[in-house]
């Protein structure tokens, strides 16, 4: 019977050892699993960080593109306003020319007439509006040397201005209408 007890005790001992080994193995496996989970988590963090940096860069590019768009649009609006201003002025200048032509034909004895003074006043108002918008009359005199940059020769040949047929104007230093002249 002693043999049976010994083997039974041995079996219990061996079972306990086996159980301890399994617990140890299971604890080691659990530790390995935790390490693997930690490594996977670290990899995910790195991936998410890279993804967030990619999205941030994309957002920054989008923001810069939008800022550039706003600047481009402001330039386009400014350019359009300049075009409209020039277009409007080019339509007003013939009206001013007609005022000047009609005033040139007023007889001397009627220049003091209230009606003529009213026409002169309207002409001055138009000139003031043009001046306030950056329009200046180009100074051209009879006898000036012909300059194709500011003069348009309508008749004649030569190098001197003989007669001024139509005044020239510039907007902020840029010629918008050359002076029409007769040359000799």
Using pLDDT thresholds of 50, 70 and 90, give the confidence band for residue 157. Answer: confident
User: What is the C-alpha separation between 77 and 83, in angstroms, rounded?
Assistant: 10
User: What is the C-alpha separation between 20 and 28, in angstroms, rounded?
Assistant: 12
User: Whose CA is closest to 140, among 160, 120, 126?
Assistant: 160
Using pLDDT thresholds of 50, 70 and 90, give the confidence band for residue 92. Answer: very high
Q: Are 163 and 179 in contact (CB under 8 A)?
A: no
User: What is the C-alpha separation between 151 and 1, in angstroms, rounded?
Assistant: 138
User: What is the C-alpha separation between 99 and 180, in angstroms, rounded?
Assistant: 17
What's the confidence (pLDDT) of residue 166?
A: 93
Using pLDDT thresholds of 50, 70 and 90, give the confidence band for residue 96. Answer: very high
The predicted model gives 47-64 an average pLDDT of: 95
Q: In what order do the strands lie in the sheet with 151-155?
A: 151-155, 179-183, 161-166
Structure token pair of residue 87 = 């277009």
169: left (phi over 0), alpha (psi -120 to 50) or beta: beta
List the domains of the chain with CATH numbers. 2-133 (no CATH), 134-184 (2.30.22.10)
Q: Are 100 and 170 in contact (CB under 8 A)?
A: no
Using pLDDT thresholds of 50, 70 and 90, give the confidence band for residue 9. Answer: confident
Strand pairing category for 151-155 and 179-183: parallel
């Amino acid at each position: 019977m002693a043999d049976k007890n010994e083997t039974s005790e041995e079996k219990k001992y061996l079972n306990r050892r086996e159980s301890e080994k399994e617990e140890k193995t299971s604890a080691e496996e659990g530790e390995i699993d935790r390490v693997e989970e930690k490594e996977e988590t670290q990899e995910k963090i790195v991936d998410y960080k890279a993804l967030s940096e990619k999205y941030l860069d994309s957002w920054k590019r989008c923001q810069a593109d939008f800022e550039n768009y706003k600047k481009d649009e402001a330039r386009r609006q400014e350019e359009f306003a300049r075009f409209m201003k020039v277009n409007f002025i080019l339509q007003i200048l013939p009206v001013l020319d007609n005022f000047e032509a009609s005033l040139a034909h007023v007889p001397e004895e009627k220049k003091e007439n209230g009606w003529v003074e009213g026409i002169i006043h309207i002409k001055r108002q138009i000139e003031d509006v043009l001046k306030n918008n950056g329009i200046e009359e180009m100074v051209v005199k009879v006898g000036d040397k012909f300059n194709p940059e500011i003069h348009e020769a309508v008749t004649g040949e030569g190098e001197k201005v003989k007669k001024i047929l139509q005044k020239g104007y510039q907007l902020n230093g840029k010629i918008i209408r050359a002076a029409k002249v007769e040359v000799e």
